[in-house]
Amino acid sequence: MEDLNKHYKAKNLSDTIALGFTKFLRLLADTFFKKRYGHRAVVLETVAAVPGMVGGMLLHLKSLRKMQDDKGWIKILLDEAANERMHLMTFIEIAKPTLVERVIIMLAQFIFIIMYLFIYICSPRTAHRIVGYFEEEAVISYTEYLNELESGKIKNQPAPEIAINYWNLPLHATLKDVVRVIRDDEAGHRDVNHKFASILDDRKQSIKKEKVKSDINLNKNNS
C-alpha cells in the first residue's frame, strides 16, 4: 500500500515553478469539472499519459546520441505511459465522454505534448517534478472520488471488463475497486518522478560543486 499523504516540499526555484504550474492546472480542472470525477479523469488521464512517453523518447534519443546506458529510466517511463493509457481506456468505459469532451481531450493532449516536450528539453528535473506534483493531485482527486462512491453520492457500478483484466480484479469488482488500484498507481508514479527529479537536482548540484572546486584550484595555481 502506497503512502497516500506524501507531499514533496519545494526546495528551489525549479520546484516552486513546478508546484505553481500544477496548482494552476488543478484550479482549471476544479473550475471546469467540479465533482464530475469520471469526466475529469478522462481528460486528466489523456494528459497524464504524455510525460512518460515524451520523457522516454527523449532519453532514448539521448542514450543513442551519447552511447550511454539509461540506467533503466526509459523502461520505467514507457511503462508509466502505458499504465496511464490504461487508466484512460478504463474511464472512457465508465464516463462515456461526449463528442465535445472528446474534442477537448484531443486539444488538451495536443497542447500538453508541445508544452511538456519544451519543458523536458529545457529542464528534465522540472519536468519530472511537475509530474510528481501532478500525481500528488491525482491521488487527492481519486481519494475524493472514492469518498463520493463510499457515501453513495456517485453510483458504485460494476468495474469494466478492461479494468478487471488489466489489474486482475475479482469478477465482481466495482468502480470503488478500480479507483483504489488507479490511486495506488498514481502514488507510485508520484514517488518515481519525485525521485528522478531529486536525482537530477543532486547531479546538477554536484556539477556546480566540482566547478567551484576547479575554479578555486585554478586560482591557487595562478597566484
- Identify the pLDDT of residue 118: 96
Mean pLDDT taken over the chain: 88
- pLDDT average, residue stretch 166-192: 95
Q: Looking at the predicted structure, is the pLDDT value of residue 60 above 70?
A: yes
- Identify the pLDDT of residue 191: 95
Q: pLDDT tens digits for 72-130?
A: 999 999 999 999 999 999 999 988 888 887 887 888 889 999 999 999 999 999 999 99
Task: Work out the burial of residue 108: count CB atoms within 10 Å of its CB; fewer than 13 is exposed, 13-18 middle, 19 or more buried.
Answer: middle
Question: What is the model's pTM?
Answer: 0.87
For 83-109, give the DSSP string. Answer: HHHHHHHHHHHHH---HHHHHHHHHHH
pLDDT band at residue 1 under the 50/70/90 scheme: low
* Percent residues over pLDDT 70 in the chain: 90
Q: What is the CATH number of domain 13-214?
A: 1.20.1260.140
> 3-state DSSP call for residue 8?
coil
- Identify the pLDDT of residue 114: 95
